Amino acid sequence: MIDFKSLFRPGILATRPYSPGKPICEVRRELGLGDIIKLASNENPEGPLPEVLEAIAEAACDLNRYPDSSAFRLTEALAANLGVTPDELILGNGSNEVIDILIRALVSPGENVIFSQHSFIVYALTTAVHFECGRAVPLTADDRHDLPAMAAAIDANTKLVIVCNPNNPTGTYNTADEFTAFMKQVPPRVVVAVDEAYYEYVTAPDYPQVLSMRGEYPNLVSLRTFSKIHSLAGLRLGYAIGHAGLITELHKTREPFNVNSLSQAAAVACLQNPAAVADRARRNERERERLARNLEAIGFQVVPSQANFLLVRCGGCPDRMKSALLLTTSMLMKGVIVRPMHAFGLGEGALRISVGLPEENDRCVAALREILS
Ligand SMILES: Cc1ncc(COP(=O)(O)O)c(C=O)c1O
């Protein structure tokens, strides 16, 4: 009998697989419930636009063909939309893949990547399997990236710093002044990737416009995705914008045909309707603030968010209900999927709730109210 564990690198053995929010079909199967809502993965509760579905249906007729490996049409359209040149863009099978590409391409054994301890869990997982190169820096007391501490953590072996802004799972953001001060501390040999997965939802006027800083800081990269406001999480499409010199090298490490043809067609169609993005951002903001007030009214502490989710703590709840795991399980029994935050290291009492449709948010609050009483 082979001892399979002995075959693997220590970093792999120590890593736990990514645990996503439960899909609706799984909860339906396991609990036999019919009417289920999912507020656990920061997805857009509004489906893809009709014209996007049409573009997908049309592209589906050519599924016997490999996709355009250079994603020419989409890259041109995206570059025009962002005001950048096509050679400043690399697309990935979700921004997850772009994060993986950056780490694989930049980091040799003995070198490191810095990120925040309570941030998107993929940074910790991806660096763990890549020579255990991750170095996590705690958040500030108000749940934001501690940028001065992250700058201070940079050493001679640091290759990459990942800043998640707004941060998942806290929803908090770092301001333009804070970010500029941070960039002044970072040596040009260190790449800074700002994960802006929730960029389109942000309304704070002092949020940094990283894209416009890339001329001054050629080591700066933005990561964006079609999974959130564009409602294409199921198709997997993300991208990075950065200096052409950097992007050219990153392209060498991506798999051929990494972006499928349905994603390419769907994204081109999304880009033709910027008004829909703005409308969705407005509706999200309205619902997020309403959900926050309703959760506070039943005893939760809500962290101010610029994204499409809320981090809440059960501080004001009855003592017997101060466990997010217990709350999550009780919610599941009522057909509402939310996410406990212990895997993110945020403690027993923290819960992340994605902003849903108005009726979904009402049902979520009603279920929590019932459980707490
Ligand atoms: C901060 C952050 N980055 C990246 C992603 C992943 O995006 P994608 O679906 O493009 O891989 C997520 C998804 O939840 C996220 O929260």
User: What's the predicted TM-score (pTM) here?
Assistant: 0.95
Q: Are residues 336 and 194 in the same domain?
A: no
CA of 197 relative to ligand 1 center, distance in Å: 6
pLDDT of residue 302: 97
C-beta of 261 in contact with ligand 1 (< 6 A): no
> What ligand 1 atom has the least distance to the C-alpha of 225?
10
Task: Confirm if 205 and 347 have CB atoms less than 8 A apart.
Answer: no
What does the block give as tokens for 189?
């040999």
**Are 123 and 252 members of one domain?**
yes
Does 171 lie in the same domain as 77?
yes
Please name the residue whose Cα sits nearest to atom 16 of ligand 1. 168
DSSP state of 66: P
Atom 7 (ligand 1): residue with closest C-alpha?
A: 95
Query: Does the CB atom of residue 361 touch ligand 1 within 6 A?
Result: no
* 169 and 282, same domain (yes or no): no
Given 217, 242, 273, which residue is the final one in a domain? 273
Same domain assignment for residues 156 and 294? no
Atom of ligand 1 nearest to the CA of 167: 1
Please tell me the distance from the alpha carbon of residue 79 to that of residue 68, in angstroms, as a whole number. Answer: 17
Q: Is residue 305 part of a domain?
A: yes
Specify whether 89 is located in the same domain as 195: yes
Per-residue model confidence (pLDDT) at position 24: 78
43 inside domain: no
356 lies in which domain range? 4-34+275-372
- Under 8 Å CB-to-CB from 244, ≥6 apart: which residues? 85, 87, 88
Using the mean position of ligand 1's atoms as its centre, give its distance from the Cα of residue 109 in Å: 26
Q: Of the candidates 219, 240, 273, which is a domain's last residue?
A: 273
CA–centroid distance, residue 194 to ligand 1 (Å): 12
Report the CATH number that the domain containing residue 268 is assigned in CATH: 3.40.640.10
- pLDDT in tens for each of the 373 residues of the chain? 899 889 988 778 888 777 777 777 777 777 777 789 999 999 999 999 999 999 999 999 999 999 999 999 999 999 999 999 999 999 999 999 999 999 999 999 999 999 999 999 999 999 999 999 999 999 999 999 999 999 999 999 999 999 999 999 999 999 999 999 999 999 999 999 999 999 999 999 999 999 999 999 999 999 999 999 999 999 999 999 999 999 999 999 999 999 999 999 999 999 999 999 999 999 999 999 999 999 999 999 999 999 999 999 987 677 766 788 889 999 999 999 999 997 777 878 899 999 999 999 999 999 999 999 8
Q: Verify whether ligand 1 is closer than 6 Å to residue 162 (CB atom).
A: no
Same structural domain, 282 and 306? yes
Q: 201 lies in a domain?
A: yes
Within this chain, do residues 279 and 268 fall inside the same structural domain, yes or no?
Answer: no
Q: How many domains does the chain have?
A: 2
264 and 218 within one domain: yes
Decide the pairing of beta strands 158-164 and 350-354: unpaired
Is 42 within a domain? no
In a domain, 90, yes or no: yes
**39 assigned to some structural domain:** no
All residues at 6 or more sequence positions from 287 whose CB lies less than 8 Å from its CB, including other chains: 355, 356, 357, 358, 361
Q: Is the minimum distance from the CB of 306 to ligand 1 under 6 angstroms?
A: no
Query: Considering the domain boundaries, does residue 180 fall inside one?
Result: yes
307 and 214 both lie in a single domain: no
Domain CATH code at residue 343: 3.90.1150.10
Residue 320 has what pLDDT?
A: 67
- 205 cis-preceded (ω within 30 degrees of 0): no
Residue 96 CA, closest ligand 1 atom number: 11
**Residue 123 resides in a domain:** yes
- Is 74 in contact with 264 (CB distance < 8 Å)? yes
Residues 248 and 170 in one domain: yes
**106: which 2 tokens?**
């930049």
Q: Do 144 and 287 have their domain in common?
A: no
Of 273, 302, 331, which residue constitutes the final position of a domain?
273
| Token pair of 135 as six digits | 């170095």
Query: What phi and psi values does residue 128 have, to the nearest 5 degrees?
Result: -65, -40
